């Protein structure tokens, strides 16, 4: 998918600047607040909410005489990542002039609600399902991998590491097409080696209850580091509802452990996984991480201002969703079958840099990072490389 990289980068600035920059959030309808999207979507899509856990979207302009196709997007819960992803999917479908009706359902990880959504989809002759997030993907894989409707995963962790598909070289042959939010660990560690050639300590920040993040982002990097003589500190939380409270001693203790072998903390890093409950507390992490750089696998965590990671090496939610939307469009057009598609990987990774945070902690960023970075924030914390110069409107 290397040929898609420039297009994906060009698309990835919009939601990054709004959703994670504390932009004002407004609902296009009254509660519930689990479904949000960029306000520009209202210009091209008609949006309604038949009930609190269901939204219906229809493209306003019909460009062909072909029958309208139906798409189901299955949410497990609310997430700012999903806000970004659904916006990008709708934008791609509109840019391709696809005549589709989109139903978005939050099944709250309840088997009965999920089963009812699938029965309704089959009854209505739905043409495609997007599994939004790792939880929805896992649930659909367990309950619908022999189903009639093709499924494409979005904002989901690596399916090979999760045992959902055998390898990256071929499709699974069933009704699933997978995309991945993960970057191969050897690729990430190549960047880390350049950043910290003499790395001694790596503290992995993760929510133990986020199984997909543990299995695909925390454990692989920990195993890779241990094999190379790097001390790994498992800096985890157990209760996502008390993330802020738990992170304070976790981060402090990690720094204290690092100092034993690295007194000036010049050979240590925090590795911030895609655990939402953890990365939303970046301010708390920064308050207690001393001079240790926080490197995130989520590019959106590098943003304007001081509440930011210093650096990110990963795949942005928007880049992943763009690729998933292309997979979906190709399936709807009958050009490919879901089971024939290889795992969708965005390569090379999205690099994001905050020079404000780097200067604050004394981190020297290799020039090669600057050359290839998708997102750069200057010494004042202002965006200087985000492709677009103006942030889109506030989210709905």
Domains of the chain: 2-181+317-340 (3.40.50.2300), 185-315+349-385 (3.40.50.2300)
* H/E stretch holding 180: none
Phi, psi for 105 (deg, rounded to 5):
-125, 130
Give all strands (DSSP E) within the chain, no chain letters. Answer: 45-51, 54-59, 69-75, 100-106, 128-132, 151-154, 176-177, 201-207, 231-237, 268-272, 294-296, 311-314, 350-354, 375-377, 383-385
Nearest-angstrom CA–CA distance, 29 and 45: 14
CB 386 within 8 A of CB 13: yes
Task: Give the position of tokens 């649930």.
Answer: 139
What pLDDT score does 63 carry?
76
List Cβ neighbours of 198 (8 Å cut-off, separation of 6 or more). Answer: 267
What pLDDT score does 33 carry?
86
CB 310 within 8 A of CB 295: yes
What is the SS3 string spanning 10-59? HHCHHHHHHHCCCCCECCCCCCCCCCCCEHHHHHCEEEEEEECCEEEEEE
CB 114 within 8 A of CB 143: yes
Task: Say how far residue 52 (Cα) sits from the centre of its chain.
Answer: 25
Nearest-angstrom CA–CA distance, 249 and 210: 20
Nearest-angstrom CA–CA distance, 164 and 144: 12
Nearest-angstrom CA–CA distance, 179 and 147: 19
Q: How far is CA 396 from CA 82, 84, 327, 339, 392, in A?
A: 13, 11, 26, 34, 12
What pLDDT score does 17 carry?
38
Q: What angle do CA 79, 83, 85 make, to 5 degrees?
A: 110
CB 350 within 8 A of CB 9: yes
DSSP helix/strand/coil, 371:
helix
* Residue 97 tokens, joined: 């002039």
Whole-prediction pTM? 0.85
User: Burial of 26 by CB count in 10 Å (0-12 exposed, 13-18 middle, 19+ buried)?
Assistant: exposed
- Print pLDDT tens along the chain (396 aa): 444 444 444 444 444 433 343 333 333 344 458 999 999 999 999 999 999 999 999 999 887 777 899 999 999 999 999 999 999 999 999 999 999 999 999 999 999 999 999 999 999 999 999 999 999 999 999 999 999 999 999 999 999 999 999 999 999 999 999 999 999 999 999 999 999 999 999 999 999 999 999 999 999 999 999 999 999 999 999 999 999 999 999 999 999 999 999 999 999 999 999 999 999 999 999 999 999 999 999 999 999 999 999 999 999 999 999 999 999 999 999 999 999 999 999 988 999 999 999 999 999 999 999 999 999 999 999 999 874 433 333 344
DSSP helix/strand/coil, 356:
helix
Nearest-angstrom CA–CA distance, 216 and 15: 25
What pLDDT score does 2 carry?
45
């Amino acid at each position: 998918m290397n040929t898609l990289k420039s297009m994906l980068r060009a698309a990835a600035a919009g939601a990054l600047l709004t959703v994670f920059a504390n932009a004002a959030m407004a609902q296009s309808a009254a509660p519930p607040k689990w479904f949000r999207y960029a306000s520009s979507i209202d210009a091209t899509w008609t949006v309604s909410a038949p009930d609190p856990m269901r939204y219906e979207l229809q493209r306003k302009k019909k460009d062909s005489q072909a029958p309208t196709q139906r798409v189901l997007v299955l949410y497990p819960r609310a997430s700012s990542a999903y806000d970004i992803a659904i916006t990008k999917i709708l934008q791609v479908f509109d840019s391709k002039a696809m005549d589709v009706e989109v139903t978005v359902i939050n099944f709250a990880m309840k088997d009965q609600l999920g089963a009812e959504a699938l029965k309704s989809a089959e009854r209505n002759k739905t043409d495609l399902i997007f599994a939004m997030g790792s939880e929805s993907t896992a649930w659909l894989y367990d309950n619908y991998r022999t189903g009639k409707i093709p499924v494409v995963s979005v904002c989901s962790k690596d399916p090979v590491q999760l045992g959902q598909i055998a390898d990256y070289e071929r499709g699974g042959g069933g009704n699933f097409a997978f995309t991945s939010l993960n970057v191969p660990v050897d690729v990430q560690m190549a960047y880390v080696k350049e950043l910290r050639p003499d790395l001694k300590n790596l503290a992995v920040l993760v929510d133990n209850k986020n199984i997909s993040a543990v299995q695909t982002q925390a454990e692989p990097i920990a195993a890779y580091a241990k094999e190379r003589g790097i001390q790994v500190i498992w800096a985890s939380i157990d209760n996502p509802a008390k993330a802020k409270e738990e992170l304070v001693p976790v981060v402090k203790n990690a720094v204290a452990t690092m100092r034993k072998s690295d007194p000036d903390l010049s050979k240590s890093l925090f590795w911030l996984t895609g655990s939402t409950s953890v990365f939303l507390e970046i301010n708390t992490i920064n308050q207690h991480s001393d001079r240790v750089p926080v490197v995130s696998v989520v590019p959106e965590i590098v943003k304007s201002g001081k509440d930011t990671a210093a650096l990110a090496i990963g795949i942005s939610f928007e880049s992943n969703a763009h690729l998933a939307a292309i997979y979906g469009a190709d399936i709807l057009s009958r050009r490919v079958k879901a089971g024939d598609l290889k795992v969708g990987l965005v390569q090379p990774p999205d690099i994001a840099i905050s020079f404000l945070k780097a200067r604050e902690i004394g981190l020297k960023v290799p020039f090669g990072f600057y050359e290839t970075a998708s997102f750069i924030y200057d010494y004042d914390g202002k965006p200087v490389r985000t492709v677009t110069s103006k942030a889109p409107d506030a989210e709905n």
